[in-house]
Amino acid sequence: MKWLFFILLLANLGMFILIYPQQADKSDEKGLPDIGELFLYKEVAELSGDAGDVDASGTAAIPESSPQSGEEILAEDTESQIVAQRQEAESGPQLTGESESASAQEESSTAETEVTAAEEAKEQEPASEEVAVCKTIGYLQSRSDAEIVSVRLRALGLKPELQSETSNEQAGIWVLVPPQASRRDAVEVANRLERDGISDLWRFTSGELVHAISLGLFRNEERAEARRKEISDLGYEVIIKPRYRQATKYWLYFQQRTPATLTEKGWRELLENFPDIEVEETACR
């Protein structure tokens, strides 16, 4: 058994000694640097631009004296061209995108400018404003009538304002015996008139006409003058004096836009119920 073991061991050693050097040679051969590929003359001229490295046979090879240097030169040229092409490919779309973005911004700016110009032109155009026409309607002798008309105008879409004015207005003509110096004198004159057949009289006891004697209040000036002459012919001093009283008049003020707010039907119904009222234009407040 021992001899068999030693024989196998020696056989293995022999095989190892024979096989290992061959594998080492093959690995050394594989490790040798490649001399590079062969290129046509035109390709070498375009890549390296050096015609002195080209062979007379029309083919070119990297010189044997420095195969590693030629390979590095070709590799560097090729890589530089590839990098340049990649940069151009990358920069092209980027520039295109930037130009498109700039173009879009310019178009947006132009559109905004046009819209702004259109709005300014629209603002500068004269607006067709409604013209306000102010009017008054009246006069009305009582507040209740004025309030009824106000309700009618509001129903027609207006906003009337109730206005009033108090003034002295003539309410007739007095035929008078002028005020006497005292109450006693006024009583004596009144008694004498009654003896002369003048019974329609009245004596003032206060106010502006105190101690005067009224012989009648007339609406017609001619009738008042006839009464004065009648009493004067009896030997009395008689005067004619207008009678005034305070009266309040009412009217309504409103603004009417054009086109007219009120319809013809609305005006007609209003005037039928109040035939004495008048509508006049006035200055707006």
pLDDT, tens digit, 9 for 90 and up, residues 162-176: 999 888 888 899 999
State whether 208 and 148 are in the same domain: yes
Query: Is the residue at 2 inside a domain?
Result: no
Q: Are residues 71 and 169 in the same domain?
A: no
In Å, the largest CA–CA distance within the chain is 201
Same domain? 144 vs 209? yes
Q: What is the signed CA dihedral for 215, 216, 218, 222, rounded to 10 degrees?
A: -30
Q: How many domains does the chain have?
A: 2
User: Going by C-beta distance under 8 Å and a sequence separation of 6 or more, which residues neighbour residue 81?
Assistant: 47
Q: Which stretch of 5-14, 22-31, 168-177 has the lowest confidence by average pLDDT?
A: 22-31
pLDDT band at 96 (very low <50, low <70, confident <90, very high): very low
Local structure of 100: helix, strand or coil: helix
Mean pLDDT of 145-160: 88
Whether residue 80 sits in one domain with residue 208: no
Which residues 6+ apart lie within 8 Å of 115 measured at CB? none
Name 10's Cβ contacts closer than 8 Å, sequence gap at least 6.
none
CB distance 243 to 99 below 8 Å:
no
Tokens of 204: 């003032």
**Same domain membership, residue 76 and residue 148:** no
Please, which pLDDT band fits residue 15 given cuts at 50, 70 and 90? confident
Residue 74 and residue 177 in one domain: no
Question: pTM value?
Answer: 0.39
Whether residue 49 has pLDDT greater than 90 = no
166 close to 250: Cβ distance less than 8 angstroms = no
- Which residues share a beta bridge with 116? none
Residue with tokens 């631009």: 49
- 73 and 213 in one domain? no
- pLDDT for 176: 95
For 54, residues 6+ apart whose C-beta sits below 8 A from its C-beta are: 41, 44, 45, 60
* Domain with 177 in it: 133-282
- Examine residue 87 and state whether it is found in any structural domain, yes or no: yes
Distance of CA 172 to the CA centre of its chain: 61
